[in-house]
Amino acid sequence: MKITGVCPKNPPVWPPKSYPQDRQGRAIAPIHLVAVFPLVMGVVNVTPDSFSDGGQFLDPGAAIRHGLALIEQGADIVDVGGESTRPGAEPVSAATERARVVPVLEALAGRVRLSIDTTKAEVAEAAIEAGATLVNDVSATLWPVAAAGGVGWVAMHMQGTPRTMQHSPRYSDVVSEVRQFLTARAGQAREAGVAEVWVDPGIGFGKTLEHNLALLCSLRTLVSDGCPVVVGTSRKSFISALLGAAPPDDRLEGSLASAVWALTQGVGMVRVHDVAATVQAARLVAQDVAVPRALAGAS
């Protein structure tokens, strides 16, 4: 499905009043909305060691409250993860990860579309059972789980593993290599029967500052390949490298600037920590894109 950004003559109201439901009655933000409006995915890290907010939401009650707050702020999707993927992070067992995320997903189910951020098949399966309708997969290996569960799938590019990815990332041509990888994985997922496939270039996942900037400058190329694109730049270290040594929770301006850039390049969804501010920015981008094109179509 090619996301073109072409708008109808009467653009729909943003945000939409309600989303359709999947066959289990779970809310789905329809992928066709990406053609008109960008989506905002809010992050809930149920971990002790995530780079931005590790430990703040490890308690299930705190994570649930945070998820509810993101919904109130306007998140289209809430992405729940129970294992840190920061550079240098050590893996956790599937049992530990599952115990962290399932209570949170069950509590938030039915209130917003839910995504599970995992690389483990058994965790993804439990999350789908608990209400997730999107698998956000930094390993880009879980399309069979998405196909079997009848849910969407995000394929992200990563060189190495979280523990090793920033040791010495190297590419001959980062844009070409990431593009080829994502195109291949998206094709495998479609052949397996996954109807909703997103791709993510993996900013900060086995990339230097120069690699990240090259990918951000080439987002239109990735978008042109036909899969809707997700970008996650929120609070990442490349922002600090460009703007000065700011801690993760003091990178709002850079996070917003990079998210807006991505959206103006045709990206369909941004994954962020600061939902309220990003939703406002996304609405502005949507109106700047939708209204002129709608008027042009009517003339």
* Residues acting as catalytic residues: 236, 271
Kindly report the backbone phi and psi dihedral angles of residue 93, in degrees, each rounded to the nearest multiple of 5, phi listed first. -70, 155
Q: Cα angle vertex 107, ends 104, 113, to 5°?
A: 85
**Cα–Cα distance, 19 to 254 (Å, whole number):** 31
The three-class DSSP label of residue 246 is: coil
**Cα–Cα distance, 115 to 29 (Å, whole number):** 11
Kindly report the backbone phi and psi dihedral angles of residue 152, in degrees, each rounded to the nearest multiple of 5, phi listed first. -80, 165
The three-class DSSP label of residue 136 is: strand
Closest Cα partner for 127 from 97, 89, 161, 84?
A: 97
